[in-house]
Amino acid sequence: MLEAVTTALFVMVISTVATDKRAPWNGVFAPLAIGGFVFVGANVIGPFTGGSFNIARSLAPAIVAGSFGHVWIYLVGPALGAIVGGSAARMISPKARVA
């Protein structure tokens, strides 16, 4: 659940600060907002879930270790979060050029 919520918020941050061409600050503020979110998100959910709101970051160690027992949680959570976050960003700013 935390992975899905964090990924949804992450996608919303990216969609609102980096891809909206109407934002005058996107060249300066976007990297700070995105990096800041990754830092805060990883530190907030890290103690509970490992801070893995990136599917590739979860899948690669599972492949190397050959351990797929609970990896589905880290695949489904971020995928659902990305869908929810992208949909929410589209609803919040429908005229923005959201990727």
Q: What is the mean pLDDT of the chain?
A: 84
How many helices and strands in the chain, by DSSP H and E? 4, 0
Q: Answer yes or no: pTM beyond 0.85.
A: no
Tell me how far CA of residue 37 lies from CA of 5, 17, 22, 71, in angstroms: 13, 12, 21, 24
Full set of structural domains in the chain with CATH: 2-92 (1.20.1080.10)
What pLDDT, on a 0 to 100 scale, did the predictor assign at position 24?
67
What pLDDT, on a 0 to 100 scale, did the predictor assign at position 8?
92
